[in-house]
Structure 1
């Protein structure tokens, strides 16, 4: 009698299971990449906003200093 694991149904079931596992891995990786990209985007946006705010506040402070001295 042949090995039950070699039956076409068993081979097909194993193939489907492996395919589903690979798909799940790709989906998880895609979610991780998307999360990483969003984090990088918003981190860059936050850094840029902080730098802009510092420049504006610095110019504002310089302007007040000149007004007070004149």
Structure 2
């Protein structure tokens, strides 16, 4: 019998209250999603999913983090 069976998937790790608090702090600090995922040892999709569950806003292609408060585009003041 060939040994090419798919690797067993680990069950998803549950989110603790401390994990949720850490995620909220990191999003409030405007950390990049990839950086948050690496720091929390989670996938980017896991971070996005949990943020959606907690109704937290993340940056997106059409809505990136704003660095100047969102009033005037950078370099145009």
TM value normalised by structure 2:
0.29
Question: Larger relative CO (CA 8 A, sep 6+): 1 or 2?
Answer: 2
Q: Which has the larger radius of gyration?
A: 1
TM value normalised by structure 1:
0.31
